[in-house]
Structure 1
Amino acid sequence: MPWSPGRRPPGWGRPSNGPGTSFTEPAERLRDDTPPERLDAWLEVLLTTQGLTGRVHLASHLGIQPWLECRAPGRADLARVRGAIEEPWMFLSSSLDTLVVTEGEYHYAAHVLRGGS
């Protein structure tokens, strides 16, 4: 059965820093007092660098539609994403093999997870 939004993609659970750990150091960090325009630029570069281009899945945090399929957001779109969706912002590649999670408390942290087979 193919994966559908709302379910955990098959093979997930292996952090990128090695098997057997449940914590990953952030792949990148950004100060939490960063201006919104810089935050959007950072997110855009992060997604592109991790290969999240074209069609992606965006976590909505809504039970009725937990994942939204959309075009990878560009810098102009990211401000709307941030305004509409609470943190953490989670982007899943269309191939379901890369998840990028960004969150901010004392700083913005980006965690990159790769799905296992």
Structure 2
Amino acid sequence: MIQGMIQDMIQDMIQDMTQDMTQDMTQDMTQDMTQDMTQDMTQGMIQGMLQDMIRDMIRGMIQDMIQDMIQDMIQDMIQDMIQDMIQDMIQDMIRDMIRDMIRDMIRDMIQDMIQGMIQGMIQKI
């Protein structure tokens, strides 16, 4: 009888211990797995966000650079066009002025010559 009671007690103790150990192990494993999963998910999210941010920044920088380049090119083209137009206008004005001056000088010379010839003829008469 006592032996049976001791056997039952030992059996109960062993059963309780194995149950406790199994429960602890299962709990630890579950906890570790959920921690790992949470950590992985969080890490993945953060990595994804950072990648998106960096990608957006780089895209923005490239767009700004291209826009600046195009703006500079257009400004340079407009400046060159205006400069060429002004240069052409000044050249045309100078050419016209010189042509007018030469024409006036020649006309005056011819007039003086004709007047001199007429006066000479009048004096001879």
Report the TM-score, using the length of structure 2 for normalisation.
Answer: 0.15
Bigger strand fraction: 1
Bigger helix fraction: 2
Larger relative CO (CA 8 A, sep 6+): 1 or 2? 1
CA radius of gyration, larger in: 2
